[in-house]
Structure 1
Amino acid sequence: MMNSKSFFFFKFASETELQGVLESGPWIIRSTPIILDSWSPDVSLTKEDLTRVPVWVKIHDVPIAGFTEIGLSVIASNIGYPLKLDSYTSTMCLESWGRPNFARALIDVSSDRELKENIKMAIPSIDGKRKSICTLKVEYEWKPPRYASCAIFGHTESQCPKNVTITVEIQSKD
Structure 2
Amino acid sequence: MAHPNLEGLSLNEEGDEGFVFDFEEDGDEQVDLRWCLVGRFLCERAIHFNSMKIRMAELWNPVKGVTIKEARAGTFLFHFAHPLDMEVVLNGGPWVFDNNTLILEQVQLGMQIEQIPLFHVPIWVKVHNLPMGLMKEEVGRTLANYLGSFLEYDKNNNSSFWRQYMRIRVRMDVRKPLKKDTRMKNKEGEWCTVNFKYEKLGVFCFICGIMGHAENKCEVRYAMEQDDGTREWTEDIRAEPRRQGGRTVSKWLREEKGGREVHGGGDKAAQANVLAGSQSRGPTNAELAGNGQEKIPTINQ
Normalised by the length of structure 1, the TM-score is: 0.59
Larger helix fraction of residues: 2
Following the alignment from structure 2 to structure 1, what is the Cα–Cα distance between the partners of residues 115 and 204? 15
Paired residue for 1:78, among 146, 155, 159? Answer: 146
1:115 and 2:178 correspond: yes
Q: Which has the higher contact order (CA 8 A, sep 6+)?
A: 1
Contact 1:27 1:35 in 2 (8 A): no
SS at match of 1:72: helix
Contact 1:83 1:108 in 2 (8 A): yes
Count of residues paired in the alignment: 142
CA-atom RMSD, angstroms? 4.0
TM-fit CA distance, 1:111: 3.7
TM-fit CA distance, 1:98: 3.9
Paired residue for 2:106, among 22, 37, 41? Answer: 37
Cα 1:22–1:60, aligned 2, differ >3 Å: closer, same or farther? same
**Counterparts in 2 of 1:2-21, with a 5 A limit?**
2-4=68-70, 7-12=76-81, 17=83, 21=86
One-letter code aligned to 2:107 = S
Cα 1:159–1:38, aligned 2, differ >3 Å: closer, same or farther? farther
Larger strand fraction of residues: 1
**Counterparts in 2 of 1:41-60, with a 5 A limit?**
46=114, 50-60=118-128
Following the alignment from structure 1 to structure 2, what is the Cα–Cα distance between the partners of residues 29 and 62? 25
Partner residue in 2 for 1:165 = none
TM-fit CA distance, 1:140: 0.9
Cα 1:47–1:23, aligned 2, differ >3 Å: closer, same or farther? farther
Cα displacement string for residues 94-134 of structure 1 (whole angstroms, at most 9, x for unaligned residues): x6x34310011111122453211111111243xxxxx1111
**Counterparts in 2 of 1:1-174, with a 5 A limit?**
1-4=67-70, 7-12=76-81, 17=83, 21=86, 25-28=90-93, 30=95, 32=101, 34-38=103-107, 46=114, 50-89=118-157, 92=158, 97-125=160-188, 131-141=189-199, 142-143=201-202, 145=204, 154=212, 158=217
SS at match of 1:103: strand
Identity of aligned residues (%): 21
TM-fit CA distance, 1:45: 5.0
One-letter code aligned to 2:184 = M
Contact 1:22 1:36 in 2 (8 A): no
SS at match of 1:65: coil
Gaps of 5+ in 1: 126-130, 161-174
SS at match of 1:77: helix
Normalised by the length of structure 2, the TM-score is: 0.37
Gaps of 5+ in 2: 1-66, 220-301
Following the alignment from structure 2 to structure 1, what is the Cα–Cα distance between the partners of residues 181 and 150? 16
Contact 2:105 2:118 in 1 (8 A): no
Contact 1:51 1:153 in 2 (8 A): no
TM-fit CA distance, 1:12: 2.3
